[in-house]
Structure formats: structure tokens, C-alpha cells
Amino acid sequence: MSDFNKLAEEAAIYQSRLKKIVSDDLVLYNENSLNVMRKILEKHPNGCFDMIFADPPYFLSNDGFSCQNGQMVSVNKGNWDKSKGMAADLEFYEEWLRLCYALLKPNGTIWVCGTFHNIYLIGYLMQTIGYHILNNITWEKPNPPPNLSCRFFTHSTETILWAKKNKKAKHTFHYEMMKAQNDDKQMKCVWTFPPPNKAEKTFGKHPTQKPLPLLERCILSASNIGDLIFDPFMGSGTTGVAALKHGRKFCGCELEEDFFELAKKRLQQKQ
């Protein structure tokens, strides 16, 4: 039985306790990802995921304001994005990073998103846990929100750390494919993508939604057809959309029910 089939079978066991979707190539949990990962780890102590993409809370909802389409808007995204203090944030980041490390296959890789507010802490924790960082990807946004204070440079990038579980293991990287997509030149670590378009928001919006082409590049470069991809902070389900589109299997967790329903609609449309 494949890792995915085992995962789907085990998910069904928790049907009375968890809200989930299980199908031939898709397992979705509307549940705290830490709880889900612990349960999966009990059955898969040696890991079961080929690739993980994690876009965790940045904890930036601090009652401030930004500018979108010429209008002042609150930066608050929800209680899930509010900091509980440095110590609590550190504990949270370390716990899910350790669980992801345990759930990766020996030759698996992980992508973790962040900004300068949290990425240095995440990078430190990853190396402490044992991850070997392969690249520091810079996602450049061509039309970022303006800097309202005019007291520092406009924030126009996010960072994605790409790392493997085992420094000595041979990880998946489709070098020639990436080169072919870049006019036969080596793909660099600065990627320019606009924000998600209207078609990506057909079923609703998520405040930190990543553009589909960005996820497609991550998945195509670092996984193979039939691989099992995991996203512990699924949001609107973009990782899953990219995974299913390119013949991968997907497992995702989302705590917020509204976003879970949004992701479910998007992913069921792709099946």
C-alpha cells in the first residue's frame, strides 16, 4: 500500500472527530495542523511526505494599516495571525518545524515562506533542528503596497527557504526543466511573480494567498509525478491546486473553517 493510500485510510479512522475530505489523490483536514501531524507521525515514524510547502502565520496583525488600491486598510488578518509574544511564537515555529522534519522522507525537501519579521528565526530553527538549507528564494512583487511612513524602503519581497532533511541524501531537483523554462539559462533564486489574479480568487479570497505560478515552480522543480505533497497551513489551497494540476497527490491542513471551505471548493474543481 502506498504512503498516500495509508494516509487516506488512517484519515478515515478519525472521521467522527475531524472534518476532512478524502479522495483518490486528496486528503484535507479542517483541524489544528500540529494535532494532525502528531497523528500521522504515530503511523509513519520514518516519514511519508516527499515535499512540504509551509506558509505559516507571520504574526503581523498588530492593528496597523496598509494601502490597497488607493485605500487605507487594516493589516489585521485574524486571530490566527496575532502574536502571543516572542516566546510563544518561537515555541510554535519550533514545534511545527520539528514535526515537518520528522514527516519528511529521508530525501524529501521543504519550502518555508516568511518576511524579515520571522524568516531569520525560522532559518535559525531549521538549521538547529537539522535541515540543510539549499536556497534562499526571493519572491519579488512587481507592484507592492506603498510605504506610508516614508521612513524606510518599500517592502517588495518575501523569502522562501528551500531545505532538505538530510544533507547527504540525493534530493529531487529538475535542473534541466527549470533551465528550459528560463530561456535555456540557469534559473536564479530571485523570482518575480505578480499577486494572484482574479481567476485564482473565484471562490473567495485569502489575505496571504500565494500566486499559483510560484507554487507550480516549487512543485515542478522539487518533486515527481505521483509524489505526496503536504501543506500544514493550507489557506486557500493553492499548493494543492498546483500539486493536482501536475499529477501529484496532496495532503493539507487548515484550521479556519471559512478558508477550509474555500480550499475544498478550489481543489474539488481541479479533480
CA distances in angstroms from 75 to 67, 109, 233, listed in the order given: 9, 31, 19
Helix (H, G, I), strand (E, B) or coil at 152: coil
User: 16-20, 74-78, 116-120, 145-149 — which one is most confidently predicted on average?
Assistant: 116-120
Q: Measure the CA–CA gap between 261 and 223, rounded to whole angstroms.
A: 27
Q: What is the CA radius of gyration of the chain?
A: 18
156-172 pLDDT, tens per residue? Answer: 999 999 999 989 999 99
The DSSP secondary-structure symbol of 81 reads G
CA atoms in the 13 A half-sphere facing the CB of 232: 30
Question: What is the reported pLDDT for 68?
Answer: 57
Element (H, E) at 243: helix 238-245
Q: Measure the CA–CA gap between 211 and 196, rounded to whole angstroms.
A: 4
pTM beyond 0.75: the answer is: yes
Mean pLDDT value of segment 29-48: 96
Question: What is the reported pLDDT for 207?
Answer: 78
Mean pLDDT value of segment 132-139: 98
**Are the C-beta atoms of 144 and 156 separated by less than 8 Å?**
yes
pLDDT top residue among 8 and 16: 8
pLDDT at 73 over 60: no
228 - beta bridge partners? 249
Question: What is the reported pLDDT for 212?
Answer: 97
**Are the C-beta atoms of 223 and 51 separated by less than 8 Å?**
yes
In the chain, the domains with their CATH numbers are 3-60+88-270 (3.40.50.150)
H helical segments located in 130-205: 175-180
pLDDT at 261 over 70: yes
The pLDDT confidence band at residue 75, using thresholds 50, 70 and 90, is very low
